[in-house]
């Protein structure tokens, strides 16, 4: 399995932007971003397959953009117009395709905190 290492988290004021990166040691058919806030269930933020086909959580469409650079084995999440409710630990995930994506590989997470 590819090792996944997230970076780019931090603290930002509401309305600001942040760009998360996930460096992988190998390629995967499916990659995605998930997040989990204290006291809440883990939720899928967005996913992308090896051909660039994407899907998003309905509540995040228009604010977040997922992308990947297959030559660099790197996944990105551009987050704009951030809100305090976006505060969470964000995880990079990867896995094979099939009948949908099956995520069997996870990064350590990077914290995103949105204030005001």
Q: Model confidence over 68-84: pLDDT tens digits?
A: 999 999 999 999 999 99
Burial 14-26 (b: 16+ CB within 10 A, else e): eeeebebbbbbee
Question: Which of the four pLDDT bands, split at 50, 70 and 90, describes residue 61?
Answer: confident
The pLDDT of residue 1 is above 80: no
Distance CA 46, CA 20 (A): 13
Residues 50-75, mean pLDDT to the nearest whole number? 94
Strand ranges in the chain using DSSP code E only, listed in sequence order: 4-7, 10-13, 18-24, 30-36, 43-49, 54-56, 64-69, 74-79, 88-95, 105-106, 110-115
């Amino acid at each position: 399995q590819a090792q996944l290492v997230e970076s780019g988290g931090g603290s930002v004021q509401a309305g600001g932007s942040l760009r998360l990166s996930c460096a992988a040691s190998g390629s995967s058919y499916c990659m995605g971003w998930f997040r989990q806030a204290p006291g809440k269930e883990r939720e899928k933020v967005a996913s992308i397959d090896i051909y660039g086909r994407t899907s998003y959580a309905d509540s995040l469409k228009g604010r977040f953009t997922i992308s990947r650079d297959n030559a660099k084995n790197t996944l990105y999440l551009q987050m704009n117009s951030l809100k305090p409710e976006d505060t969470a630990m964000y995880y990079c995930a990867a896995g094979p395709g099939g009948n949908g994506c099956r995520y069997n590989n996870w990064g350590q997470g990077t914290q995103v905190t949105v204030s005001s």
